[in-house]
Amino acid sequence: MEIRKVGIVGAGTMGCGIAESVAEKGYDVILVDRTEELIEEARSRIEMSLNKKLEKWAITEAEKKVTLSRIRPTSQLINITPADLVIEAVIEDPDVKKEIFRTLDNLCADDVVFATNTSTLSITELAAATGRPDKVIGLHFLNPVTRIKLVEIVRGLKTSDETFATASKFVASLDKTGVEVYESPGFVTTRVIVPLLNEAMYALMEGVASAKGIDTAMKLGFDLGKGPLELADRMGLDTVLAFMDRLFRDLGDLKFRPCPLLRKLVRAGHLGVKTGQGFFKYDEEGNLIE
Amino acid sequence: MKVFVLNCGSSSVKYQLFNMDNESVMAKGLVERIGSDDAVLTHRPEGRQPVKQIGPILDHTTAISKVLAVLTHQEHGVICDVSEIGAVGHRVVHGGEAFTGSVLITDEVKKALRDCIDLAPLHNPPNLTGIAAAEALMPGVPQVAVFDTAFHSTMPRHAFLYPVPYVLYQRHKVRRYGFHGTSHRYVAWRASEILGRPLEDLKIISCHLGNGASIAAIKGGKSIDTSMGFTPLEGLMMGTRSGDVDPGVILFVMDREQLTLVEANAMLNKHSGLIGLSGLSSDMREIEAGMAQGNPRAKDAFDVYEYRIRKYIGAYAAAMDGVDVIIFTAGVGENSPLLRRRVCEGLTFLGVRIDTAKNEVRGKEADISAEGSTVRVLVVPTNEELVIARDTMEIVSSLGAREHVAAEGRV
């Protein structure tokens, strides 16, 4: 089916990033969240992101206007019915997500594909809440959506080849690269990166090197854009901890045991960039303070 | 024969229908915002009121079918049936090294065009889409591709090679191609008609100054150099494009401002040129107005724009060891007496003298040289569509003749 209108449920960081990336490629976007306030916040968040691009000469004033005009924010889920594809990006709570999928299942035409942006939950389990498990798929966009070229396209147990093909084509049309992933805790990205971050924290805790030393060694040694501790700060230490806990629980392997230092920082409220302090200190715009 | 000329952009289609018996335009028009629910079709039948239609047009095939419908419409139409169209001519931006002239579109040609997509990622795909759409809607009607690059295929190696590692030419076809070829070719031909002198005897410098701007050195009717290069970003300063800059500047700015490739590309293509320097507008009319009001950055923008044209004219006079004719064409070239005057005032060493009264012309063919000027200075409105129609007509007629000969041969 030809996708022209994309519905996005959840207008937080991820929902807004997805909305912006999708609208920029010429799709009409219906962006839904629960209240008028949240919707208003989303609108200004997207505008700020576009302003940043404008400052960096990436887009023109006219292109900014066109992109904004393609996004229709609304607080009524019923307005999503014209969408040809729905992407769910609400909080990582299986009950909340299932409830939304149940509602969407009643609202949307039978051939509409449902995608979830979950990074940890089971697609198969969410799909079971609908009467169309073959049309449910994972589209795992990474933060910041507008800059990261990758989307993990996650197949649940019942996801059909046709649904996968539709999703792949859609991802390619966003100028992003899709990687086919079979459902498993943490998919590829989270599963592989989080233990690396965790190991860097162990190295710090054991006094192998300073935080700056660890990041510099990894950055220069392996040609990484950012060191593991800064990356953890940017992801949010509470998020990293939640990932570790979940992987540990789901897979039961000791290699996923969260580093005690990580837990300690989270308890202290040092969550990384969003609180201004994690392993490093950050200013209000999220720039590292040397 | 009636020839349908198409220029397909990513979200637009421009068209003209020619009656080639007398080279008259029967209708022209434009479809904008293709891919949206409120696409706009503006149709201008010759000698009648224009018609505007707004509605959903999701792809180029639908756009062209709507155009064909309006062309055959009882009230607004200019032909009774689509079958009256004898051939379709397509403007194609990039022909790479494969095409040195216009060609009949065959499967091989389409394959070669797809191979050129890397060279013109923004322009060639919609051109190909337009070809596919026209083929689907007018099966059996011959289609011809006319390339923006083809006219410059006569450039010698010393003009098209860049002084970078040769392997880049071998591996990625990095070289000067040049654009606006159809326009430069048309105005050069018009100049020889106006002056009544054969093209073979003339050294022409033609300045195509529109939204995009390029300048060509045309010796004996052949392009021997042009200011646009591998992409349409090189050369003259334009409305939103920088034209020539030190490549070191780009590397420096990318590093200092932490720009990605996409951002640097957009900065040079969309935020530079007149708009970038003036901060006012990409439109020369507004720059001139700003300058008249004493806006210093509008003056900067105008001065740099003008100076760079003059430098290129000097360079191309050297490239040809002389110049007989300077032509101004396209939006700014046809409509800015001030710019033409300022450019020519600095070219007296070449023997250029313009008549300030004649120079006041806008949008019309004129010889604006003063008495005694050894270089003739002309204003020639460009007409790329006519060239496309003529090439199409010529290729399709020779095709018919060949088939005719072949048929007789069998008897």
pLDDT at res. B411? 40
What total of structural domains would you count in chain A? 2
- A26 interfacial to chain B (CB closer than 8 Å): yes
Query: Are residues A166 and A200 part of one domain?
Result: no
Which structure tokens are listed for A266? Answer: 């989270």
> Could A58 and B263 be called an inter-chain contact, meaning their C-beta atoms sit closer than 8 Å?
yes
Residue of B nearest to A52 (CA): B263
Mean pLDDT, residues A81-103 taken together:
94
Q: What share of chain B is helix, strand, coil (3-state, %, to 5)?
A: 45, 20, 35
d(CA B346, CA B317) in angstroms, rounded, equals 14
Q: Which positions 28-57 of A are in contact with B (Cβ < 8 Å)?
A: 53, 56-57
Q: Find chain B residues with C-beta within 8 A of A66's C-beta.
A: none
Active site (catalytic) residues of B: 148
B-side interface with A, Cβ within 8 Å? 35, 58, 240, 257, 259-260, 262-264, 266-267, 270-271
CA distance A60 to chain B (A): 7
Assess contact for B180 and B148: CB atoms under 8 A: yes
Q: Which of A26, A58, A60 sits opposite B262 (nearest CB)?
A: A58
Cα angle at A137 between A132 and A142, to 5 degrees? 150
> Could B58 and A4 be called an inter-chain contact, meaning their C-beta atoms sit closer than 8 Å?
yes
Going by C-alpha positions, the residue among B134, B118, B2 that lies closest to residue B68 is B134
Alpha-carbon separation of residue A2 from A113, A169, A234, B32 (angstroms): 11, 10, 36, 21
Q: Which of B35, B263, B270 sits opposite A56 (nearest CB)?
A: B263
pLDDT at res. B374? 95
d(CA A104, CA A102) in angstroms, rounded, equals 6
d(CA A170, CA A178) in angstroms, rounded, equals 9
Q: Find chain A residues with C-beta within 8 A of B263's C-beta.
A: 53, 56-58
Residue of B nearest to A53 (CA): B263
Mean pLDDT, residues A42-71 taken together:
90
Residue of A nearest to B11 (CA): A26
Assess contact for B145 and B109: CB atoms under 8 A: yes
> Could A56 and B35 be called an inter-chain contact, meaning their C-beta atoms sit closer than 8 Å?
no
Q: Which positions 131-160 of A are in contact with B (Cβ < 8 Å)?
A: none
Neighbours of A208 (CB within 10 A): 12
Question: What is the block-wise mean pLDDT of chain B (411 residues), using blocks of 10 residues?
Answer: 91 92 94 85 92 89 92 90 93 91 93 84 84 91 95 97 96 94 96 96 97 96 97 94 96 91 90 94 95 96 98 97 97 96 96 96 95 95 95 89 51 40
> Could B271 and A56 be called an inter-chain contact, meaning their C-beta atoms sit closer than 8 Å?
no
Mean pLDDT, residues A22-41 taken together:
94
pLDDT tens, position by position, A94-104: 999 999 999 99
Q: Which positions 53-112 of A are in contact with B (Cβ < 8 Å)?
A: 53, 56-60
d(CA B240, CA A62) in angstroms, rounded, equals 13
pLDDT at res. B35? 77
Residue of B nearest to A63 (CA): B270
SS3 for A188-217 is CHHHHHHHHHHHHHHHHHCCCCCHHHHHHH
Q: Which of A4, A26, A58 sits opposite B266 (nearest CB)?
A: A58
Q: Find chain B residues with C-beta within 8 A of A58's C-beta.
A: 260, 262-263, 266-267
pLDDT at res. A2? 81
pLDDT at res. B403? 58
Query: Are residues A118 and A74 part of one domain?
Result: yes
CA distance B267 to chain A (A): 5
d(CA B202, CA B195) in angstroms, rounded, equals 10
Alpha-carbon separation of residue A80 from A92, A107, A123, A126, A133 (angstroms): 21, 8, 21, 19, 19
Q: Is A28 helix (H, G, I), strand (E, B) or coil?
A: strand
Assess contact for A282 and A273: CB atoms under 8 A: yes
Query: Are residues A115 and A40 part of one domain?
Result: yes
Q: Tell me which amino acid residue B116 is.
A: C
Query: Are residues A224 and A146 part of one domain?
Result: no
Write the burial class of residue B293 (CB in 10 Å: 0-12 exposed, 13-18 middle, 19+ buried): exposed
Q: Is B169 helix (H, G, I), strand (E, B) or coil?
A: helix
- Please say which residue of A151, A182, A213 terminates a domain: A182
Going by C-alpha positions, the residue among A133, A9, A11, A30 that lies closest to residue A82 is A30
Assess contact for B352 and B325: CB atoms under 8 A: no
pLDDT at res. A44? 94
Going by C-alpha positions, the residue among B237, B246, B300, B301 that lies closest to residue B269 is B237
Measured between its terminal Cα atoms, the distance across chain B in Å is 27
CA distance A103 to chain B (A): 28
Structural domains of chain B sorted by starting position, each given as residue range(s) with its CATH number in brackets: 2-147 (3.30.420.40), 198-380 (3.30.420.40)
Residue spans of beta strands (DSSP E) within B315-374 = 325-329, 366-367
Beta-carbon contacts below 8 Å between A and B: 25
- Please say which residue of A131, A158, A182 terminates a domain: A182
Mean pLDDT, residues A198-206 taken together:
97
Residue corresponding to tokens 């003009």: B159
Write the burial class of residue A252 (CB in 10 Å: 0-12 exposed, 13-18 middle, 19+ buried): exposed
Query: Are residues A63 and A30 part of one domain?
Result: yes
Rounded to 5 degrees, φ, ψ at A237 are -65, -30
Cis, bond preceding A133 (omega within 30 deg of 0): no
Task: Specify the pairing of strand B2-8 against strand A288-289.
Answer: unpaired
d(CA A54, CA A111) in angstroms, rounded, equals 38
Query: Are residues A237 and A170 part of one domain?
Result: no
Q: Tell me which amino acid residue A138 is.
A: G
CA distance A50 to chain B (A): 13
Query: Are residues A223 and A171 part of one domain?
Result: no
Assess contact for B272 and B304: CB atoms under 8 A: no
Residue of A nearest to B253 (CA): A56
Going by C-alpha positions, the residue among A70, A61, A88 that lies closest to residue A7 is A88
Query: Are residues A134 and A54 part of one domain?
Result: yes
Q: Sorting pLDDT into bands at 50, 70 and 90, what band is A120?
A: confident
**Residue numbers of the domain that contains A221:** 190-289
Q: CATH number of the domain that A99 lies in?
A: 3.40.50.720
Secondary element (H or E) of residue B247 = helix B247-256
Q: Find chain B residues with C-beta within 8 A of A59's C-beta.
A: 266, 270
Q: Is B143 helix (H, G, I), strand (E, B) or coil?
A: strand
Q: Is the pLDDT of residue A63 over 90?
A: no
Which structure tokens are listed for B150? Answer: 């083809």
DSSP 8-state symbol, A242 = H
Q: Which of A4, A26, A60 sits opposite B270 (nearest CB)?
A: A60
Adjacency order of strands within the sheet including B222-226 = B222-226, B213-219, B203-209, B325-329, B376-379, B366-367
- Give me the residues paired with residue A118 across strands: none
- A173 interfacial to chain B (CB closer than 8 Å): no
pLDDT tens, position by position, A223-247: 998 999 999 999 999 999 999 998 9
Alpha helices in A108-236 (DSSP H): 123-127, 161-173, 189-205, 211-222, 228-235
> Could A58 and B260 be called an inter-chain contact, meaning their C-beta atoms sit closer than 8 Å?
yes
Alpha-carbon separation of residue B160 from A72, B175, B248, B315, B408 (angstroms): 49, 6, 21, 15, 45
Assess contact for A250 and A185: CB atoms under 8 A: yes
Task: Specify the pairing of strand B325-329 against strand B203-209.
Answer: parallel
CA distance B307 to chain A (A): 26
d(CA A13, CA A1) in angstroms, rounded, equals 28
Rounded to the nearest angstrom, the gap between the alpha carbon of residue B50 and the centroid of all alpha carbons in its chain is 25
Percent of chain A with pLDDT over 70: 100
pLDDT at res. B401? 63
CA distance B266 to chain A (A): 5
pLDDT at res. B410? 45
Q: Residue A51 contacts by C-beta under 8 Å, 6 or more apart in sequence?
A: A64
Neighbours of A34 (CB within 10 A): 14
Task: Specify the pairing of strand B366-367 against strand B376-379.
Answer: antiparallel
> Could B263 and A57 be called an inter-chain contact, meaning their C-beta atoms sit closer than 8 Å?
yes
> Could B259 and A4 be called an inter-chain contact, meaning their C-beta atoms sit closer than 8 Å?
no
Query: Are residues A135 and A237 part of one domain?
Result: no
> Could B259 and A56 be called an inter-chain contact, meaning their C-beta atoms sit closer than 8 Å?
yes
Q: CATH number of the domain that A235 lies in?
A: 1.10.1040.10
Neighbours of B55 (CB within 10 A): 12
CA distance A27 to chain B (A): 9
Rounded to the nearest angstrom, the gap between the alpha carbon of residue B225 and the centroid of all alpha carbons in its chain is 16
Q: Find chain A residues with C-beta within 8 A of B264's C-beta.
A: 57
Residue of A nearest to B257 (CA): A56
* Length in residues, chain B: 411
d(CA B206, CA B218) in angstroms, rounded, equals 8
Going by C-alpha positions, the residue among B227, B220, B132 that lies closest to residue B180 is B227
Query: Are residues A201 and A233 part of one domain?
Result: yes
Q: Which of A4, A26, A57 sits opposite B267 (nearest CB)?
A: A57
Q: Find chain B residues with C-beta within 8 A of A57's C-beta.
A: 259, 263-264, 266-267, 270-271
- Please say which residue of A162, A182, A202 terminates a domain: A182
CA distance A131 to chain B (A): 31
DSSP 8-state symbol, A59 = S
Residue corresponding to tokens 């696409």: B39
> Could B259 and A59 be called an inter-chain contact, meaning their C-beta atoms sit closer than 8 Å?
no
Query: Are residues A262 and A284 part of one domain?
Result: yes
Q: Find chain B residues with C-beta within 8 A of A26's C-beta.
A: 35
Which structure tokens are listed for B295? Answer: 């806006």
Q: What share of chain A is helix, strand, coil (3-state, %, to 5)?
A: 50, 15, 35
- DSSP character string of B287-311: HHHHHHTT-HHHHHHHHHHHHHHHH
pLDDT tens, position by position, A179-188: 999 999 899 9
Write the burial class of residue A170 (CB in 10 Å: 0-12 exposed, 13-18 middle, 19+ buried): buried
Query: Are residues A159 and A126 part of one domain?
Result: yes
